[in-house]
Chain A
């Protein structure tokens, strides 16, 4: 009888319980989201930056034409959503991409948004306008854009030199906000004006960045938060302790390394932590234009000597991924199948066999147990560079290469590699968009400023263009796999591993999605809210 009563009581209470649960899931407005920031960005202008230190705090100030769905962790062409564009369409020959623009949108200073702003933004990015950015790191993204034309106030078209389906992916990146025509690039560096969910309040270098809710945001009812405050804390230990102590609601995205994650979880057990790939590869750069690495045999030996599992185990407790140029599956969209990857020399599971083969190549090049090759292994003076470089030096010993660590001041690292003043280096390469166009042209194309290895293969260059113009996704994928395999076989820039890192937030923070194939695109924060 008692159990029957209990059952009946439970049934009667069910609606109340469900109601409470539903209410708990209803977004609440209000509150300031507090996040620490890992360093002080050089400016507030996303277009002039080349680090996500800029995207994280300033992406909420802006809108793009289109944007990756902020709640789907894997960025893909299928999950691109309209923002300032209401819709888009490709011409039949795939050489014209037209956007119908949203009407009634206002910039934070009250001026209306029109197609002129779209044209201005991309003219500046392509270097065609009178107003210039102080630096324009992603100019090459628009190499295939002939021009941007407008029709009336609410239509803008991108006219391409050839089909480039990935243009839409580039436009959906957090790196591609629309800037106002009436605000100069200099003002945008210090006081950005956008159309986004949050307005810029102040940026105190080395101290803090403050944003406040845009009450006139064109998405009615959003944002939920009253504002976002970023406190700049460059010291990682201090920052993490402050998060553990509850001073911050969210850590800086992907700032928690795998070994540190244990500390965070033990000290703040209620914190929600998500580990995801950062789409940053750690790789070897070899100067193939000068001895000894002008020898393909030595470069191949180098690639064969790598024990990727050891790197991943030591640095990430097993939680990182081996792969080619493109981010490994399942998080990466363009990764080679596993069997294809393992068929590449150096990727096979038998490390000892690989190294025996490497030794033979070294002996063929004139080195052996009695004659070691001495090289400097140059790297940037940051832990994420130095640590793998030390492991690399240790692994190279097994194939008669004696490496000496050459730690380069961080300000000098890029100038040094750009002028090819190194023999062997360990580098990190980040990808803002999980798309081959961004990665291939930037890092492997003949003459590209960021092609640090001097690798230049005209045949593969043609394949770059072929895959870029291919509109059939499956066909493009196969082309990309072949290119990636060829790049690894040519030892263009041997990829050691793709890193993972964690982002943590307090349990009352809702609506954050950590992207799994880019660290640059998921910070609009318009529907993030706090349940407290």
Chain B
């Protein structure tokens, strides 16, 4: 097991190296850089001023040199300076991480805590009115774009309560905490909970038809024990995989949600940084996301062994 973990960690490092190369060069392929954007929007360009700024920012250097400079800084904890705010990139990125992390954690929590129980119910009561109703809900969850749902939540807040649940940097009450983090998370989680529910349902249906379930019932186990102890435990693996993948995709959903709810997290910040071609911010943020995704995959693989004792990773 230890050898397997070490091998996986090694592979993670190679993957991250590959990602760093792709991010770096893809960013440079995109037309325009910060200097173009600053100067061309302003007009009256003096080519000498433009060249000076390129030199000042170091983007006149050969690409390989720029890449090595970035990686060297990264390894030494120096993420460089934001081209736009002229502040250290770390100082710009760090305060935003907890905000997005909270949103993502809440979204995953909602996704699992809504999707799994409803998926189980839908499977257990297959073909009933409840099953049909839950399937309609899950289909609508998959079909509704999260920005639209987010706007509906905002409009409902204004129309019904006369207040708008946009981001509050210093929530004082439980209600403010709820509107600051839970409502945006729900807007994102609705879609992923629908997916979780559908996977849980189909996986449960497969397991509920197994012989050992019949045996458990024959032995007099209660329905609750059969469904949650015997069936769900065996049906949960594909659900964990989906939640893991969803965690990786969450950042896409959060970009939209952070924009609609005006949450100053890293997802919206990333979009702004791309707009300005703020390379230090974009490179480091995408690397951070890559680390999260690669780590999520690793954790999911480890969880397989926890949830299914039959799985044992060999050295």
Contact A415 B151 (CB under 8 A): no
Q: Evaluate contact between A207 and B166: CB separation under 8 angstroms.
A: no
Also in contact, A42 and B154, with CB within 8 A (given A205-B85, A241-B164): no
Separation in Å of the A106 CB from the closest CB of chain B? Answer: 26
Please judge, given known A-B contacts A134-B53, A244-B158, whether A418 and B38 are in contact too, CB under 8 Å. no
Task: Report yes or no: A42 in contact with B84, Cβ–Cβ below 8 A.
Answer: yes
Partner of B42, one of A137, A233, A235, A448: A137
Interchain CA distance A411-B278 in the complex, whole Å? 12
**Chain A residues within 8 Å of B308, by CB:** none
Q: In whole angstroms, what is the CA distance A414 to B36 when docked? A: 9
List which B120-156 residues lie within 8 A (CB) of chain A. Answer: 151, 154-155
B45's closest neighbor in chain A, by CB?
A: A449
Given the contacts A206-B272, A245-B162, A134 and B38 also touching, CB distance less than 8 Å = yes
Q: Determine the residue in chain B with the shortest Cβ distance to A245.
A: B164
Whether A442 touches B49, Cβ cut-off 8 Å, given contacts A206-B269, A247-B166, A415-B32, is no
- A247 contacts across to B, CB distance below 8 A: 163-164, 166
CB-CB < 8 A to B82: which residues of A?
205
Q: Does A363 contact B (CB under 8 A)?
A: no
CA–CA, A412 and B275, complex, Å? 10
Report the minimal beta-carbon distance from A92 to chain B, rounded to whole angstroms: 32
A238 contacts B38, C-beta separation under 8 Å: no
B277 touches A411 (CB 8 A): yes
A234 within 8 A of partner (CB): yes
Interface string of B235-269 (1 = CB under 8 A from A): 00000000000000000000000011110100011
Interface string of A219-246 (1 = CB under 8 A from B): 0000000000001111101100110111
Those of B29-44 within 8 Å (CB) of chain A: 31-32, 36-44
Give the number of chain B interface residues (Cβ < 8 Å).
Answer: 43
- Of A140, A244, A448, most buried by chain B (CB within 10 Å of CB) is A244
B86–A132 touching, CB < 8 Å? no
For residue B176, CB closer than 8 A to chain A, the reply is: no
Per the 8 Å Cβ criterion, residues 1-56 of B in contact with A are: 31-32, 36-46, 49, 52-53
By beta carbon, the residue of chain A nearest B84 is A42
For B155, the chain A residues whose CB sits under 8 A away are 241
Q: Are B32 and A190 in contact (CB under 8 A)?
A: no
Q: Considering the complex, which residues of chain A in the window 454-511 have a beta carbon less than 8 Å from any beta carbon of chain B?
A: none
A204 partner residues in chain B, CB cutoff 8 A? 264
A415–B41 CA distance with the chains assembled, in angstroms: 8
Q: Is A150 an interface residue (CB 8 A)?
A: no
Q: Which residue of B lies closest to A189 (CB)?
A: B86
Q: Mark B68-90, 1 if CB is under 8 A from A, else 0.
A: 00000000000000101111000
| Cross-interface CB contact of A235 among B31, B45, B262, B269, cutoff 8 Å | B262
Q: How far is the CA of A236 from the CA of B258 in the complex (A)?
A: 14
Known: A135-B42, A241-B154, A450-B43. A235 touches B260 (CB 8 A): yes
List which B186-228 residues lie within 8 A (CB) of chain A: none
Give the distance to chain B from A366, nearest Cβ to Cβ, in Å: 35
A160 is an interface residue with CB less than 8 A from chain B: no
B85 near A238 with CB under 8 A, answer: no
Partner of B259, one of A231, A234, A448, A449: A234
Q: Is the CB of A206 within 8 A of B264?
A: yes
Asked if B276 is an interface residue, CB under 8 A from chain A, the answer is yes
A206 to B281, CA, bound (A): 13
Asked whether any CB of chain A lies closer than 8 Å to the CB of B280, the reply is: no
Whether A190 contacts B44 in the complex (CB less than 8 A), given A134-B38, A204-B264, A241-B158, comes out as: no
Considering the chains assembled together, what is the distance between the CA atoms of A207 and B261 in angstroms? 12
A206-B264, A235-B259, A412-B32 known; A139 vs B162 contact (CB < 8 Å): no
What residues of chain B lie closer than 8 Å to A442, measured between beta carbons? 43-44
Contact check, A449 vs B43: say whether CB atoms are below 8 A apart.
yes
Q: Is B117 an interface residue (CB 8 A)?
A: no
Q: Report A251 CB to chain B, min CB distance, Å.
A: 14
Cα(A137)–Cα(B154), bound, Å = 39
* CB atoms of A242 and B259 under 8 A apart: no
B36 touching A415, Cβ below 8 Å: yes
Is A343 part of the contact surface with B, judged by Cβ < 8 Å?
no
Kindly supply a per-residue 1/0 record for chain A positions 115-159, scoring 1 wherever the CB is within 8 Å of any chain B CB and 0 otherwise.
000000000000100001011111110000000000000000000
CA distance A252 to B53 in the complex (A): 31
Chain A residues numbered 36-74 whose CB sits less than 8 Å from any CB in chain B: 40, 42-43, 48-51
CA distance A409 to B82 in the complex (A): 22
Q: Name the distance in Å between A406's Cβ and chain B's nearest Cβ.
A: 14
Q: Would B44 and A137 count as touching, CB distance under 8 A?
A: yes
Tell me if A207 and B43 are in contact (CB < 8 A): no
Q: How many Å from the CB of A47 to the closest CB on chain B?
A: 11
Q: Is A272 an interface residue (CB 8 A)?
A: no
Cβ-closest chain A residue relative to B154: A241
A289 lies within 8 A of chain B by Cβ: no
A410 close to chain B: CB less than 8 A: yes
Q: Which of A399-417 contact B (CB under 8 A)?
A: 409-415
The 9 closest A-B pairs by CB, nearest first: A414-B40, A137-B42, A50-B42, A245-B164, A207-B264, A450-B43, A411-B32, A245-B158, A242-B164
Other A-B pairs beyond A134-B38, A190-B85, A206-B269, 5, CB < 8 Å: A134-B49, A238-B260, A241-B155, A241-B164, A246-B163
Which residues of B are at the interface with A, using a C-beta cutoff of 8 A? Answer: 31-32, 36-46, 49, 52-53, 82, 84-87, 92, 151, 154-155, 157-158, 162-164, 166, 169, 259-262, 264, 268-269, 272, 275-277
A residues neighboring B (CB under 8 Å) = 40, 42-43, 48-51, 127, 132, 134-140, 186, 189-190, 204-207, 231-235, 237-238, 241-242, 244-247, 267, 409-415, 418, 442, 448-450
A-B residue pairs in contact (CB < 8 Å), sample of 19 = A40-B272, A48-B42, A50-B41, A51-B41, A132-B52, A134-B49, A134-B53, A135-B42, A136-B46, A140-B44, A186-B86, A190-B86, A205-B269, A206-B272, A237-B154, A411-B36, A415-B31, A415-B40, A418-B45
